[in-house]
Structure 1
């Protein structure tokens, strides 16, 4: 199986190089990896102590960020190397100052693993959530490098727990310790012989809790909202937008609407604007528009949504009708009701918040209209629902502190 895995990785690398000639995203994926070793050599010397942290993409990075920040405090003499697997993570964060080196993770071939680990020579390695790369893990084990998986989430349908998953199951043996999100993950690992497991929770709750504490003020949002009821829809797809726009066009209440689409390509922004019969302004045209008189604001840029949520009286999170639900915690942390589409299975926090009543799932535009009208008509009801979300997040916070405390204890014990 080890031979087949290595053959598959080598073959995939070769195929990706060909496909990259025709696909811009794959081109970033392939060509970005050519710079990895030179980026490391520019900042890491043989004498440096190094902590290596790996995130698949942007979501995993957000989960790991609170831990990275604490590691920098607890290990100030170490340098941090942060790697990404996908362009959607690396291209967004490559200029961040959170780490001494930010680069792509080379493919999991034995030669590239050797080159990467020789350049970084980490004395600690941390993988986030799902990242299991057998050759990297085997090499770290052979080098006697303490290696940890944080914010891990395991499910019974994963290959590690199947009769045919022996190769991937054995890769887990290379981790020094698992920090899992829930009891189910711990039980699954226990069932296949792993007892080096701590239920630490999900670091995303610490991340979103920090959002509330920062400065979320946006001058354009203050001018747009004024003292009116504000509805914010984030990361929406076409299926979400049809329902929202139908409500906007027929709405008679004094409500300010903000739509931040997942896709901000020009043709899609124009489709949204043309389908709305109220006065609309787009973020990139604010200098040329009278913002105060507009009823609908279209956010046609990235990086503002979390702050915009702080101005919302209710929020809608997109993706629940077609592609996969986006982040419900970012609006929920502000203590407001959150609306989503019907497909949220597999998103643990959404499942739990739907059950608690802080997040409401709708199936169609009739459900949506009734719900928004109800929130608009009753501030007390809206506040009650919002408090469910705040309490839930407050109860779940603390994973970072538990991970850092246990991590330091393990490392001290092994020294």
Structure 2
């Protein structure tokens, strides 16, 4: 009965979710003709017969970037294995395509039994590895029915989320009961999962995979080239992965900085591509001269005061080109709590 109620509620909210997912927005990649994959109509996948199929799920860009080093190491150690990576968003799909030499990408089906079964019939996974805390009850039930091991890696659970789940514990347990292993980032996360009823034997603390930052030589070269474009004699600070409400604060801070360091440059990188045009307009209305990464061919003008990082999957390049970093997501309360502050110092960029 509880699962039926959950599915009915999902059916009510699914149209809203799909509208947001499929709606075209400037600067945002589109699902396009692949929309059917969300309903379980998964295209054929070329699999090596007789070898395990390992399914990684990473909801969007950040999760794909975080798990990429792990996937590459896994593929290196098990070159004969079939690796499938699913994402929910098209921006995540765009990032996952960078793993196309070792993994095949498909969109995650909606958590309806017919969609999940359609997908599972295609890939028939031997393992499911979920990045962070994407717990879909019908998906996990269908996977577990085949005795397929399920692990949640880089698992995290804030105190706020824990308290919310506690109020609807039966719904949380509807999904969590099928997970064999929760590999948590920190002790606090592990304690919260056990507080919600997960057997301690299924909970461990393995640390954050974001410590395993993958820095390719070409990214360092790309960052150095970008710095040459921005000007090696100019101090550059980056506002990285900013959310709505943070751009205004970064712009205001830059306005104050220019009073003491007139040649300073702000590299502003919004978190979501659909906001690129909006943020550019905000900069212009604030009286700044702006150039965009996607439209820059050579060295920028000395009069440019804000450089808009409007390309996806290039955060390492942006950080390498900068001197100081403000990490977005840290000024909008507990909803986000800040993005990965481990990246900048790893790339010699102060935070």
Would you say same fold, with TM above 0.5? yes
SS at match of 2:201: coil
1:153-192 deviation per Cα after TM superposition (whole angstroms, max 9, x unaligned)? 1244436852541232242221222211111222233342
Matched, 1:187 2:191: yes
Structure 2: gaps spanning 5 or more residues: none
In 1, Cα distance between the equivalents of 2:20 and 2:11?
15
Q: Which residue of 2 aligns with 1:357?
A: none
Query: Which moves more between the two structures, 137-146 or 89-98?
Result: 89-98
SS of 2:190's partner is: helix
Q: CA deviation at 1:306?
A: 2.1
- Picking from 42, 51, 55, the partner of 1:52 is 55
Two-structure CA RMSD over aligned residues (Å):
3.5
1:261 and 1:6 map into 2 onto residues whose CA distance is: 35
| Cα distance, 1:23 vs structure 2 | 3.1
Could you list the per-position Cα deviations for residues 353-387 of structure 1 after superposition, in whole angstroms to 9, with x for gaps in the alignment? xxxxxxxxxxxxxxxxxxxxxxxxxxxxxxxxxxx
From the two aligned structures, give the one with the greater helix fraction: 1
What is the deviation of 1:295?
A: 5.6
Q: What residue is the counterpart of 2:80 in the other structure?
A: 77
Partner of 1:24: 24
Task: Choose which of 202, 221, 238 in structure 1 pairs with 2:247.
Answer: 238
Q: Which has the higher contact order (CA 8 A, sep 6+)?
A: 2
The whole-number CA distance in structure 1 between the counterparts of 2:176 and 2:140 is: 8
Contact 2:157 2:192 in 1 (8 A): yes
1:23-73 deviation digits (Å, cap 9, x = unpaired): 337995696341466654142376553111111212222222222112212
For residues 244 and 167 of structure 1, what CA distance do their matches in structure 2 show? 44
Q: TM-score, normalised by structure 2?
A: 0.79
Tell whether the 8 Å contact from 1:255 to 1:295 is kept in structure 2 after alignment.
Answer: no
In our comparison, the structure showing a higher alpha carbon Rg is 1
Tell whether 2:115 aligns with 1:112: yes
Alignment of 1:264-303 (within 5 A): 265-266=276-277, 268-273=279-284, 275-276=286-287, 281-284=291-294, 286-287=296-297, 291=300, 293-294=302-303, 296-303=305-312
Q: Normalising to structure 1: TM-score of the pair?
A: 0.68
Distance 1:315 1:230 in 2: 9
Aligned residue for 1:233, secondary structure, equals strand
Q: How does 1:342-353 map to 2 (within 5 A)?
A: none
Q: Distance in 2 between matches of 1:8 and 1:29?
A: 24
- Give the whole-Å Cα distance in 1 for the aligned partners of 2:22 and 2:67: 33
3-state SS of the aligned residue for 1:272? Answer: helix
Aligned equivalents of 1:188, 1:291: Cα separation in 2: 49
SS of 1:131's equivalent? coil
- Once residues 28 and 283 of structure 1 are traced to their aligned partners in structure 2, the CA distance between those partners, rounded to angstroms, is 20
Query: Is the 8 Å Cα contact of residues 233 and 315 (structure 1) preserved in structure 2?
Result: yes
Tell me what 1:66 maps to. Answer: 69
SS in 1 for 2:220: coil
Q: Displacement of 1:222 after TM fit?
A: 2.2
